[in-house]
Amino acid sequence: MIGNQGGNQGLGSWPRRRARLSPGAVALSQGARELTYAELADRVDRWASALTRLGVRRGDRVAWLGANDIATFEAFFATTLLGAVFVPLNTRLAPVELRYLLEDCEPTVVVIGGGVDQLEGYSLSRMAELVEAADPLVDEPEVALDHPALILYTSGTTGKPKGAVLTHANLTWNTVNQLVQFDLHEPDRALCIAPLFHAVGLGQITLPTLLKGGRVEVVTKFDAGTILELIHRLRITSFSCVPTMLQLMAEHPSWPDVDLSSLEHVIYGGSSIKASVALEWLDRGVAVLQGYGMTEASPGVYMAVHDGATEHPTSIGVPHFFTDVAHRSDDGKVAEIELGGPGRELLIRGPHVFAGYWNRPDETNDSLVDEQWFRTGDVVRSDPDGWSYVVDRVKDVIISGGENIYPAEVEAVAVTFEGVRSAAVVGTPDERWGEVGVAFVEPFAGARIDEQALRRHFETHLARFKVPRDIEIVGELPRNATGKVLRSALRNNLRPSDSPRENK
């Protein structure tokens, strides 16, 4: 829409923030180090030349194991420049898990970042020597949009991790989707907080900012106080993260005094946010916008928009512009989403949806409906106004005595009880009911939870069949590197019930 939404403005004041793609502008920074776009282009060219000398060719894999670093971006862009495939690995995995991933993707080169010593590969210091000594790249191979660019391994909360193959087109269209939702410009300064082995680290905020000529401050490790200080000192305009990070920042002692006025876009995803945390940010004048997606979608599918975010603080928003969404009906067919209707499994398709799982054609086929709609495994409902909500994971639904129990609904009640910081509900086999729910509750530091009082709280707000049979108070819920609760770890601590519950 072309129009004047802010009163009459003279030509001298519009546009306020003109986008200028300048080679001399800072592209990446990390503490005292800064890299302009011209310098980044030179470094990428040298990295590509060095990788070529190590035998990397189009289609080969280059694995990266290390914390977020400017060098991560150099290696990523160089790998894709060659038509090879970048494979960032989760630094929190055990050596045996990392070896499984390496055996799966069979990289030509493994680059090892700082603080990692459990695998063999080229250290960053050794790569720096090779890069500095490299001659300019002579020939750039032809790379098409449908060529693989990235393999990201799914979190592996159930079963073995699978490598989602993202093409150049997938990454490009995801970036376009993000920029349709919110615009960015050269003066923008973003934080790259999420780990770059996760789709959010690259796909949300980071690549869109770099495409528009903005500056990205690379954060090696999340620390709530450090992030707040960076926002204040660097006048950060945007970042993406998981809800746990937003909560930790809002709980930090420096929270009341930090200047957040520069923030324009704060995107979060990975799990639902507590309404109280969203309101903490909203009360500071910051609209936190929930995005919903997954590795297989590069990752964006839905996102809240500024117009309506305050009124829908826990909604995932609306579908991205170049994303088709549908529901999977009870008979397994593709069905149109009924606004105001019940939640059903979400199906998606679009140019940003992955090319398939690495070397797993059967699992790729199993993930599709009608050969083109990807099964997200998430139950999503849409209100009459079009704003949508994730109800739960299909595989996490607890079927107890023929009734469906959605853990997210029970967890949402748990966190409204005084002293409860987080909660996770999983199913456990039960002789009589098939399955029953068990709630794992993480209290705030220093808080004491009265289990009987919490049970009464559940009974007041939930149908009897939804009330967890058992309540376990834990010091901390197990989470993966992106902040998601590892439900599989909780299930592994459970045994089948030998005392059926009688409150159906």
Spell out the SS3 assignment of 385-445: CCCEEEEEEHHHCEEECCEEECHHHHHHHHCCCCCEEEEEEEEEEECCCEEEEEEEEEECC
Lowest-pLDDT choice from 18-22, 234-238, 316-320, 366-370:
18-22
Q: What's the confidence (pLDDT) of residue 234?
A: 97
Strand partners, 436: 428
Structure tokens at 52: 């070529």
Per-residue model confidence (pLDDT) at position 20: 62
Which domains are present in the chain?
A: 26-389 (3.40.50.12780), 397-492 (3.30.300.30)
Please say whether the beta carbons of 276 and 297 come within 8 A.
no
Rounded to whole angstroms, the Cα distance separating 301 from 92 reads 27
Cα–Cα separations (whole angstroms), residue 208 to 66, 274, 296, 298: 23, 27, 18, 13
pLDDT at 402: 65
Give me the pLDDT at residue 313, please.
83
Q: Could you tell me which of 216, 270, 211 has the C-alpha nearest to residue 238?
A: 216
**For all residues of the chain together, what is the average pLDDT?**
88
Asked whether the predicted pLDDT for residue 422 surpasses 90, the reply is: yes
pLDDT, tens only, 429-445: 887 787 899 999 999 99
Residues with Cβ within 8 Å of 111's Cβ and at least 6 positions away in sequence, in order, are 62, 63, 64, 65, 66, 75, 121, 122, 123, 124, 127
- Report the pLDDT averaged over residues 289-314: 92
**In angstroms, rounded to a whole number, what is the distance separating the alpha carbons of residues 353 and 209?**
21
**pTM greater than 0.85 (yes/no):** no
Structural element, H or E, at residue 226: helix 224-234
Lowest mean pLDDT, pick from 73-77, 142-146, 310-314: 310-314
pLDDT score of 13: 33
Give residue 139's pLDDT: 86
Residues of the chain with pLDDT > 90: what percent? 66
| Residue 488 predicted with pLDDT over 60 | yes
Distance CA 389, CA 306 (A): 17
According to the model, what pLDDT value does residue 354 have? 98
Residues 225-274 pLDDT 10s: 999 999 999 999 999 998 888 989 999 999 999 999 999 989 988 766 77
Residue-level pLDDT at 406: 78
**pLDDT value for 400:** 83
Contact 430, 497 (CB under 8 A): yes
pLDDT tens figures, 97-131: 889 999 999 999 999 987 666 678 899 999 999 99
> What per-residue confidence (pLDDT) applies to 217?
98
What Å distances lie between residue 138 and 46, 52, 135, 419, CA to CA? 11, 10, 8, 62
DSSP state of 116: -
Q: Is the pLDDT of residue 504 over 70?
A: no
Structural contact between residues 262 and 236, judged by C-beta atoms closer than 8 angstroms: yes
Query: Could you read off the pLDDT of 55-92 as tens digits, one per residue?
Result: 999 999 999 999 999 999 999 999 999 999 999 998 87
Q: Where does the pLDDT of residue 397 fall: very low under 50, low under 70, confident under 90, or very high at 90 and above? A: confident
The contacts of residue 361 (CB under 8 Å, 6+ apart) are none
Residues 154-177: what's their mean pLDDT?
A: 85
Residue 336: its H or E element: none
Q: Give the neighbor-by-neighbor strand order of the sheet with 215-218.
A: 33-36, 26-30, 215-218, 189-192, 238-241, 265-268, 288-293, 300-303, 318-319
Q: What pLDDT, on the 0 to 100 scale, is given for residue 117?
A: 66
Residue 9 has pLDDT above 60, yes or no: no
More confident residue, 461 or 504: 461
- Whether 7 shows a pLDDT value over 70: the answer reads no
Residue 391, pLDDT > 90, answer no
Closest CA to 92 of 222, 207, 202, 224: 222
Query: How far does Cα 437 stand from its chain's mean position?
Result: 27
